[in-house]
Amino acid sequence: MVITGTGAISACGIGAEALWTAARDGRSGVRQTLFPTLKRQVILEAAPISGADYQIALSTTNPRFQDRVSAIAQIAAGEAIDQAGLGVADFGERCAVSIGAGFGGAQTMDENYHRLLAEGGSRKIDPMCVPKIMTNAPASWIAMKWGIKGPSYCISTACSSASQSIGLGAMLVASGTVDRCIAGGAEALLVPGVFASWEAMHVMTNDKCRPFSRNRTGMVLGDGAAMFVLESLESALARGSKILAEFAGYGTTNDAGDLLRPDRDGAARSMRMALDHGRLEPTQIGYVNAHGTGTIANDLNETLALRDVFGDRFAEMLISSTKPIHGHALGAGGALELLITLKALEEQIAPPTINFIDVDPKLGFEPVPNVARPFDADVVLSNSFAFGGVNASLALKRYEA
């Protein structure tokens, strides 16, 4: 199974290349993000898609019937499909779509609640509310636009939505159910109601997001979408498509423990499962794009789990978190990060963890601090760990013809 196309939109701009170069060069899309309708806003930064980029996404889609989350999903899918060179005959029943989303049509929900409650119902509710808000809208719009008539799925497992969607897509291809799958995640949650809800969780930083660093105080939210064309090797070769990477392994587990606190064993089992699935040895892994949210709990837990899984290899392989660049895009997070992981494999460069101050003695390692670093390896890994105890790990391997 291979990847033949990628696409993205994020705070770093439109396009997979914009996301990758920002991550590699340490250019952050995080900036001051104020919501005038909030009476009180404590956290002042996020990684939003720019207004201009939203305009571009909306101008080529169907905003009367879509929340902007579906618009950005389509922009990213279009880029991936173009790169893979898929034509009309490549869709139909032998193609699937599997798109994760966390909050669905957040902007539509937020605006319409505001009309109902704050404005006393004086303005009428958008009659397209339900189809705009439903979490599976991005998957369905992609299916409609390209005529994808096979299975369509929307996995909504918070921060693991996209990684699980990609994993499921890969399984559909591997099982022979379909020849290819458009898979990824989309999230457009930077609206007053969702932002205030995240503030109330007290896991966002009012400093800078500094994954794995001493003095880290939390995460930063972001919007974005990233999509992949997953395909059987046979189909990719038959079409003569350029193969970007081999999809090598998928693992997913549940902690079955605490709703919010991550679990070392659950995270380790997820990574081991991805390695076992791809018959990979820990020694083959050169780079891990960590979940690395910048919260105390995740970064400690993930470090312990990585040490459990990789043992002696831990000290040699490169590990970083790119969340301070593109923000934590929840339902799209795993897709943005897998894309960066793929480009890292292609260029053999590990993107840095920016905003890093110093080693946290409790973690005892440097996560490629502040500046990218080259590596030499054929396999890379990306992790996502979600509230609800949902863990997912994806492994990619350099393709050799």
* Active site positions, annotated: 159, 291, 328
- Rule CB under 8 A: say whether 44 interacts with other proteins: no
258 is a contact residue toward other proteins (CB under 8 A)? yes
What is residue 28's three-state secondary structure?
coil
User: Of residues 27, 31, 202, 242, which one binds other proteins by CB under 8 A?
Assistant: 202
**152 secondary structure, DSSP code:** E
Nearer to other proteins, 259 or 401 (CB): 259
Of 126, 199, 346, 347, which one interacts with other proteins (CB under 8 A)?
199
Q: 163: Cβ–Cβ under 8 A, 6 or more apart, which residues?
A: 100, 185, 252, 333, 334, 335, 338, 382, 383, 384, 392, 393, 394
Q: Rounded CA gap, 127 and 125, in Å?
A: 6
34, 38, 42, 371: which one binds other proteins (CB under 8 A)? 42
Beta strands in 284-338 (DSSP E): 285-289, 318-320
Shortest CB 65 distance to other proteins, Å: 36
User: Tell me, what amino acid is at 332?
Assistant: A
Rule CB under 8 A: say whether 259 interacts with other proteins: yes
**Which residue from 38, 60, 261, 364 is in contact with other proteins, where contact means CB under 8 A?**
261
DSSP label at 108? H
CB nearer to other proteins: give 62 or 215: 215
CB within 8 A of 39, min separation 6: which ones?
A: none
| Per-residue contact string for residues 294-333; x = within reach of other proteins by CB under 8 A | -xxx------------------------------------
Closer CB to other proteins, residue 202 or residue 242?
202
Residue 296 contacts residue 219 (beta carbons within 8 Å): no
Strand ranges for 206-297 from DSSP E: 224-231, 245-254, 285-289
Report if residue 203 touches other proteins, rule: CB under 8 A: yes
Please report whether residue 215 would count as binding other proteins according to CB under 8 A.
yes
Q: Which residues bind other proteins (CB under 8 A)?
A: 42-43, 199-206, 215-218, 258-261, 295-297
